Structures are given as structure tokens and as C-alpha cells.
Chains A and B, each alone.
Chain A
């Protein structure tokens, strides 16, 4: 069997991934390029006796090295030397899409064109003379319709034949860049050839071109390998630059782009005939946009859509989530029944099952969320949302696309930061993306809500709605303000240019949406599953060890034995009930003593002098420490800490009554605790996902920074409230 290695490349929105999906179907997998969060998608297909391996390169507009996507695409071409690049282009927009094609041809890699969206070409009244185009570009071209799969076999057949014919040989195309640039290109190429610099990797004219275009990655390589030569080349380019500015009032790199587009325009004049001028009719996209991006209707519809989306996700997600929870509860009960009481049982039930259950519990939510996100993205609406909201978010150093992560994380109270942070993937601007990831966890996620309900119920029961609303509003204010502060301090820098395509509206393909959903879900299960399991066990250990010493344990055991004996000898129903209550109380006191004795408990007590500034006693501290594992843990641990046993998150009325009576708790403490819980460390699953989307350094930064910030604000609020209330 013959093996072939193809790379699919093209602009975003060219239908490249759709074509990749139709060709490889289920035979694909997603990995990562080392060190960055760009997906590496690979797939395989068989054609007669050919095995074709395909890598789907990230979509990019150019082959410079400004974005991770472009850098990756270039690296794959140069380092892995695929047999053939299949350049997928939107045939209705050849003029722009060929700009990338020209750059592939200049690099010299074997290239063929997949002229995609041929159905649109026909319906728009465009005629493409493919014969002529192939002749002028010197590479094969095949018409395709990725959504239906039309033309895919011809594409593969042509690819296999052409790859065999070229046999991996690189043949760089030479374009003239005019009387100013051309001589400099010649001169630089000669210098490079003489010095044999990077000759094994790139054609010399191409390196010279990149030097003139100011490509950081290439210049960096040149400076390291041949500092003296590089200096001479840069000096020569500086002269050219000054000359261009003086005589033409432009930059050399702009001249290069002009000539490239000139080359394309000349080429297309010969091969394209438009029988029905496009501007003669308003197409469907324009009609939809007149409504969806209308000055008033646009934002209103967007809010309605966001709310509906959110509502669907969390109502629809509730059933499978409950099912997962019940399953793990059942499993925990089963294990409790089988294993003898003791450390092993506790480790498996409280450490492993709770940990894994916690991770898998999010899976239905993530699946639904990403179906919706894939739909919004593939349909083209996501770009419109960014377009409409950019002005607002930009003033906080963010990007129009930041809205999605914020909303999902709990911008409408009750979301979840895990899929929220993952949704930041759609941001292509690194700084704005980082600021979004770091601030999205401030939103009131579904797990923080029971804590708020408990505290509001205990101290502000007459202002429930107003309090919940203020909390959500406060979260938005904090997220945006902190984003602004981060963007003007540690993530400082020019905002990434917004220059962005508004793609035509398209109905997403089911396959595309499902593949996208599955990729994200599986990635989450793999990554979060392993790390969270480990962390969950550590937290379990912190709340279990060191156990009570033998003497104390013995005391509890003897007291229990004593009570049990009196229970069996009790005669009246009243007596029995009384002893039963005493037994339950004893058990709660036991759990409390064990918790207080554990590492987490000791830490909570140790911190009390400090946390009393914010009004928190050691019981609250323990609950808050537990909350770092998962915010759901706060209420149940608080229950244990108030020796009420583990308190059910959904029914905390007894705990509410208990803290109402506690002298340590009052309205000031409640406000302080609400602020702290809203803003402090993200839960561990979120931290793991944050590390995945940025780096462990930034995830740890969020852990420390958010907690510090939350504590300071809680202190201020508490002290202030004490004065006022």
C-alpha cells in the first residue's frame, strides 16, 4: 500500500475543516502542538491501495509568523515536509484566498487547490476557467462542495497523482516585486546562498522576502546562526525602507502585498468571468444582517438568544447531570456497603468517587454547551456578536468575543466556569484571551449559588431578589474592572487588531457540530479526569489526616457503645427517640472533632486570627478551604463544622437556623462571606482547565491573586459594614 501525507491548509471560513471531516469521517484524532493551545487534527482515509494521512492545519490568512496558527502551519510545512499541501479556498472569494496560495507557491511546497463552495460559485453567476487557472498557477485545481462531499474523490485522486509526480520536490515560484524591491531581494538571496544560511530549510529568495517583511521568527533564526550576515542584511533592508518611505511614501512590506495582489488580479482576469455582478442583488447574508446586526433589534435579539441558550443548556443539562450524580451516589452507597468502614472506604468513597463524579458530572453540561457554541461559530453568528459588543469589551481591554466565556461562566447567574474558560478558545487574540480566562471565574457559577442562598436566607431573607441581582452585577463589575487592571499592568500591551472577517451565514453541518462537541468533551475528560482525581485525593487526605488519636477515638466508641446499650434496654418510645437523637449528636460531634483535628481543620484554626478581620471563624475557614476543591463542598462542610453532619446543599434550613443564632455570624459577616465566595480561588476543575488554556503559572496566579483580592475586599466590606449596620 502506498502512503501519502497531505496537509490541508487555507483561510478560516474556507470550509477546510468541513472538507477534512467529510473525507476522514470518524478516522481522525485531535492532539496538541507542543507548548501551545492550537489543536493538531489528523485523520486517515483509504483510496484504492493508497493510505492517505491528512493533517488539518489551523486556518490562517498568511504565512508570516504573527499568530500561533500561522507559526504552526509554517512549522509543519518546513519540519514535516508533507508530500502535498491541499490549499482549500473559497472559490467565491478567490481574490483574497489566493493570497495565501501565492505564499505557498513562493515557499515552493507542492500545492494543489481545492476550489471549495462551487455550488455558491454557480449560484452567484461566477464562471471559473479551471484549466486556465491551473496553467497560470502551475498547480492542479479541483472543484469541491465540502458540505455535500461532492468532488472529494477527484480531489484525492488528483492529490495522489500530483504528489507522486512531484515526489516531494520544492519548486519556488518567483514573482516580481518591482524595481525597488527586486534588486534588494536578489542581493539578499546571493548573500544567503554564499553563507549557506538556512539553505536546507527554506529557499533563499523566500528567506530574503521574510527578512524584508520583518518576520520575527526568521530574523531571530538568522541572528542566532549568522549574526554578522544578519546585521548586514538588516542594514540593507533599512536603506530600502528609507528609500520606499521617501520616494513612494510606503513600506517595503506594503509594496510586497501590493504586488502580490496585483499578480492575483492579473491572473484572475484571465480565468474568471462574472456573468451576474454580485452587487446587483442583495444576498441572503446581507438581508439577515439587516435584522441581526440592526442598531436596536441586533442587541435585543442577541440578549434574547444568549438568555435562551443559557436556559436551554442548564435546563436540558439538569437531567443528565442529575443522572450522573445519582449514579455516583449509588456507586458510593454500593462501595460503602461492600467495603468495611475505615480509611479505605473513606478514600474510595470521599476521595475517588466524589472526585471522579465531580468531574464527570460536568460532562453533560459541556456537551450541550459546545453543541451550541459550535452552532453559533459555524453559522457565523459568533463573529456578529463580537462585532456588536466589541466597543463595550474593548474599553476594558477585552475583545468582543469575550462575551461568551463570561456568560457561560455565570454572567447569567448559575453558569459554570469550566465550560466558560474552555469557550475562551474562540478568542484569537492572546492577551485578551488570557484576561478573559483569568476574570471569567468571578462570575456566580451554579455551585456558588447555594452558599449565597444560605446566607441571604439567614440574614437578608426580605431582599432575596435584590441581593441575587446585586451579586451578579457585582461579579460583572469586578470581572471587567480586574480585566482592565490586568490589561494595564501584567498583561499590558496594544490590543490585538480587530480586523476580522464577517463570514456569510451558513447552516452548520451536523457532522461538524458533533465532531467539535466530542473533541472538547473528550479533551476535558482526559485532562480534568486525571489531575482532578489526584487533587481530590489530596484534599480528602487534608480533611481526614491526621485522625483523632486512639484515646479520643476510644472515648467516642465507648460513649456510643454506652448509648447503644441503653437504646436496646429502653422501653418507651420517647426514651428510644431521645437516645437516638443523642446518638446522632454524638456522631456529629465525632465528625466535627475529626475535622477539627485534620490538617485542613488545623489550618482553619490557625488562620482564624487573620480571617477574623473579614469576620470568618475557624468553622467558616474550614468550609472555605474545602470550597477550593469544589464550591459545592462549602455548604456541606459548614454543616459538619457546625456539628450538624453533612448538610444537603438543597436543604440547608437547619444550618441556616444554626448560623443565625451563632454570635460569630451577622449581616456584616454574611456580606463579607458572599464577597469572598464570589471572588476567591476558582475550584480545582476550573484551575486545571485554566492551566490547559493558558499555563500552570497563570492558573496558580489566579489561585493566589483571586484569593488575596477576595480577602482584601471581604475585610473592607466587613469592617465597613460593622460601622454602618
Chain B
């Protein structure tokens, strides 16, 4: 894994030799610029169903502070969010709700399976539990653990940021 940085080329006017820090223009690739902007402005929608919520609160609070990654402000409307954090066990009865929330989110959107229940159903194998939310919606980042340590969540967020930065960001999609 590698992190790309945006090559910022300061404008140097010939003959003037400006030494101040103001940029006249910069050159970069469109995908890298948008990816760089998007990776630091993740607005999560917490779909919190079970005990992993405690760990979600721990990782959001000041000792671990997901705000450092630009991913701290939860939006409680899926229409304003671009990261769906599924925190906890999802049952078959709840799967239609999860799908509806996912479909209400605007592109671009990413999904994080937080904890082992959202990842694979965990230790539940019965009539009630959905064996992993990826049966219903596509998942970008899986975080194992029951519950995951805050470090694991932060690592997951950073991996997702790398993924966002490296992916293509079309201005126009096939739908729009």
C-alpha cells in the first residue's frame, strides 16, 4: 500500500522570483484532487444495532478521536452521509431496513462492516441473524473483532481513506 500525495507546483513567474507562500495555481490530476478531498471528509451514518456501539462511542470520543481523519461528524440522515458504518448484529428482520438506508445514500458511498457480526454473523448461526451484511449490500471495509479495538477501527478508516484516494472519481457517472 502506498499513499499518493498531490503534487502541488507553485507558480513561479519568470523574473519576479516570488518567495511568499501564495499559490497562483497548482497542477494535479482530477481524481487525485477529488480523492484527497473526499478521503478527509467522510460523513458516517452509524447504523448501530448492538453492543459494538460501545466501541463505536469509544473510538469517536476524544482519546481516539476519529475527527483526526475527518470522519467524526455522524449524519443521522443517510441522504447526508457517504460512509455507512454497520455497527453490530443485523437480523433477517432488519435486513430490509439496512437495504433501504443504503439505497437512500447518495453516490459516492462506502460501507464499513464494524465488528464480527456485521462482517460474517460472528458466533450467531441461527434463524435470526444475517450471516454478514455483504449478503445484502456491498461492503468496502471489514473490521473483525468482538468488539474491535479502537486501533482496529482507526486502521480500517485509514485503509478506507487510502482506497478512496486511489480510486477514480468520475464527475459524470452512468446514472448522472
Q: Do A and B bind each other?
A: no
B interface residues with partner A (beta carbon < 8 Å): none
